[in-house]
Chain A
Amino acid sequence: DIRMTQSPSTLSASVGDTVTITCRASESLSSWLAWYQQRPGKAPNLLISEASNLEDGVPSRFSGSGSGTEFTLTISSLQPDDFATYYCQQYNSYSYTFGQGTKVEI
């Protein structure tokens, strides 16, 4: 299975900051990567698919980039609602795997 490694595991930031989360894959994914946001007690919520396609209704301060084995999720001008845990997920093959998560905390 493809291994996904996110960094950092925890990120401390303030409202208004710009933060970047990195996701690395153990083999090339082309652009078959998604990002999710998860708040405590809730299901993950899809933010971005195919590395950089923003879901309808997701604020434009979220952006994704990358291809191959290295991807980033950037959140510009952090808002109070954005303090949550973020996961990357690859779907290059019929064996989907998630990163271990990045908790963005105040």
Chain B
Amino acid sequence: QVTFKESGPALVKPTQTLTLTCTFSGLSLTTSELCVAWIRQPPGKAPEWLARIDWDGDQKFYCTSLKTRLTISKNSSKNQVVLTMTNMDPADTATYYCARIRDGEGFFDYWGQGTPVTVSS
């Protein structure tokens, strides 16, 4: 059974850096097609893709509008993907999801349950 689970702080202050961890299981890491993404969804709004990491080649891709604030990385020994977002703002309040991108394409077939993050002083 494939599972993804996000973890991180529920509350951060403006200007702080957010660090979120995605832990997954049930996936074979021998495939060269494992890709993991972060997506967020502000309350009442549509999802917004943030970043992608390709496991084998360690290629990384970022949402154009947030590129300067995001860093995605992996911890191979722990089956984890980490997202950091700097200079947090109340507009970054959202539920943050990690998800698998199937076969290196661009759609998301397995999602975590999401972790809500509020940015407030």
Contacts and interface: CB of A to CB of B under 8 A. Distances in A.
Interface of A: 1, 32, 34, 36, 42-46, 49, 55, 87, 89-92, 94-101
The dominant DSSP class at the A interface is loop
28 contacts: A1-B64, A32-B105, A34-B106, A36-B108, A42-B113, A43-B99, A43-B111, A43-B113, A44-B108, A46-B107, A46-B109, A49-B102, A49-B107, A49-B109, A87-B46, A89-B107, A89-B108, A90-B106, A91-B106, A94-B61, A94-B106, A95-B61, A96-B37, A97-B49, A98-B47, A98-B48, A99-B46, A100-B45
Contacts, number: 57
The dominant DSSP class at the B interface is mixed
B97 interface: yes
Interface of B: 37, 45-49, 52, 61, 63-65, 97, 99, 102, 105-109, 111-114
Nearest to A43: B111
A100 B105 contact: no
B105 A96 contact: no
A34 to B, nearest CB: 4
A42 B48 CA distance: 15
A101 B43 CA distance: 13
A99 B113 CA distance: 21
